[in-house]
Every structure is written in structure tokens, then in C-alpha cells.
Amino acid sequence: MSEKSLYERLGGYDALAAVAGTLLPRLQGDSQLGRFWEHRGTDGIEREKQLLVDFLASSAGGPMFYTGRDMKISHEGMQISESDWSAFMSHLGATLDAFELPQRERDDVVAFIESTKSDIVEV
């Protein structure tokens, strides 16, 4: 019997959409990170949320196809600092806590997100 993909272990599309729907407002409301969404319209934010869900689903072994740019290109020039990354990771942790993600899946998600850091943090 083959092991389930991370996508399946996380609960599939609806679970990832719920996490993204919780995480993004947390990030937008953060006094440090909110600047990245200050001048974004509602439609742009909804598109970003969908791209996030697609990226996570695709990366976790799900059936989604991610059509966005890679992490380096999409974050280039944003001046994302180590401090911004730490604030983001804190919100990610709190979001995963809210969904009571089991430790194994939490470790896998955090490891994957950490693997994108070098493409996102610039300063």
C-alpha cells in the first residue's frame, strides 16, 4: 500500500483553501507585514489567495496545476527581510495551531515552506 501524499494527509483542496483563507488576513493585518498588501485591490488579493492554494496543493502532491511565477521572481524587489520572514513564520505557526495540524504534517509543511526562504528573503 502506498503512502498518502502530503496533499491527502492535509485534507485536500478544501483544507488548503481554509488555511490560506485564514493565513492571508492574518498577514494583511500584521503591523509589519501589512505593507505588502496596502495598495492591492480585492480582486488582486483573491487572485493571490488562489495562486497560494494552487501552489501549496501542487507542491504537496495534489492534482492542482500552479500557473504563477516561481517564488524568486514573484518576490523579487519586495525587500522581504529576515524579520519579515520570522513574522510570517509566526503567523503560519499560529494558523497551523488553529487547524490542529498533526505534528508529522506540520513538520512537513514547515520544512517545505522553509525550503522557499532563500528565494523570498532578500535583505
In-domain check, residue 114: yes
pLDDT in tens, 53-77: 999 999 999 999 999 999 999 999 9
Cα separation, 50 vs 87, in Å, equals: 22
The amino acid at 73: I
In-domain check, residue 52: yes
- pLDDT grade, residue 2 (50/70/90)? confident
- pLDDT grade, residue 1 (50/70/90)? low
In-domain check, residue 45: yes
Closest CA relative to residue 25, chosen from 48, 58, 56: 48
pLDDT in tens, 79-116: 999 999 999 999 999 999 999 999 999 999 999 999 99
In-domain check, residue 4: no
Cα separation, 57 vs 16, in Å, equals: 7
- The pLDDT value given to residue 123: 81
Q: Packing angle between helix 82-98 and helix 103-115, nearest 10 degrees?
A: 160
In the predicted model, what is the mean pLDDT of residues 38-61? 94
In-domain check, residue 62: yes
In-domain check, residue 2: no
In-domain check, residue 79: yes
How many domains are contained in the chain? 1
pTM score, whole prediction: 0.92
In-domain check, residue 28: yes
Query: Residue 103 is part of which domain span?
Result: 9-120
Closest CA relative to residue 23, chosen from 88, 101, 112: 88
Supply 91's cell numbers.
Answer: 503567523
CATH number of residue 51's parent domain: 1.10.490.10
